[in-house]
Chains A and B, each alone.
Chain A
Amino acid sequence: GNSVTQMEGPVTLSEEAFLTINCTYTATGYPSLFWYVQYPGEGLQLLLKATKADDKGSNKGFEATYRKETTSFHLEKGSVQVSDSAVYFCALSDGSGTYKYIFGTGTRLKVLA
């Protein structure tokens, strides 16, 4: 079945450090891939998405490239800020028509000033 594997956290970085959060997936067909961010006590906010191979999603300095050959969708940011501290979720939608998501376990990021 479909699955999403996300690197375990927590990830602790200093401000202005480079961020990578790994996400790999298993899916049949052609899934759409998403990154969401969750701040404490809130719902999830869409960070970026990619709907086909080689697509690059980007938003607020974050980016991720849909790599079909490595079944990956790693999240990167060149210079993190304290305000980026949150939990990040990778998700796929398998396009089966149900539109359900398969979520990764989430990666907690803590950025220190």
Chain B
Amino acid sequence: GAVVSQHPSWVICKSGTSVKIECRSLDFQATTMFWYRQFPKQSLMLMATSNEGSKATYEQGVEKDKFLINHASLTLSTLTVTSAHPEDSSFYICSAKDVGANQPQHFGDGTRLSIL
């Protein structure tokens, strides 16, 4: 149980394009989802916390107009990288948290984004 599906797993696109990444909890409802960015051989950097039905909470230094997050249902959150540039190239990972204070986050398999 507790499967999180992230799509696409790999995307290559031209500079200036907007890219949407989907994160779905397949067998549980997730009131809270998280979006991370990971640079090579580094730890995960939290970008934002996404709560169903409300605006996302962004971490300091993360541009909310650049990284649009929508959490329209209890099983789906999306991250849209708007007008992507080469410096946005990275590995993006989502996670979803099951209901209950001590429940862990369950992670998707990540999306490798390459902007040419």
Contact = CB atoms under 8 A, between A and B. Distances in A.
Nearest to B31: A99
A105 B43 contact: yes
A100 to B, nearest CB: 6
A100 B59 CA distance: 11
Interface string A82-97: 0000000100010100
Contact of B102 (A36, A44, A45, A51): A51
B67 interface: no
Interface in B67-90: none
Interface residues of B, number: 24
Contacts of A32: 102, 104
Contacts of B109: 42-43
A interface, how many residues as a size bin? 20 to 34
A93 B46 CA distance: 13
B12 to A, nearest CB: 15
B13 to A, nearest CB: 19
Interface in A40-79: 41-46, 49, 51
Interface string B44-61: 101001000000000000
A44 B94 CA distance: 10
B7 interface: no
A46 B104 contact: yes
A1 B41 CA distance: 25
B93 interface: yes
Interface string B86-108: 00000001010100011011111
B111 to A, nearest CB: 9
B6 A101 contact: no
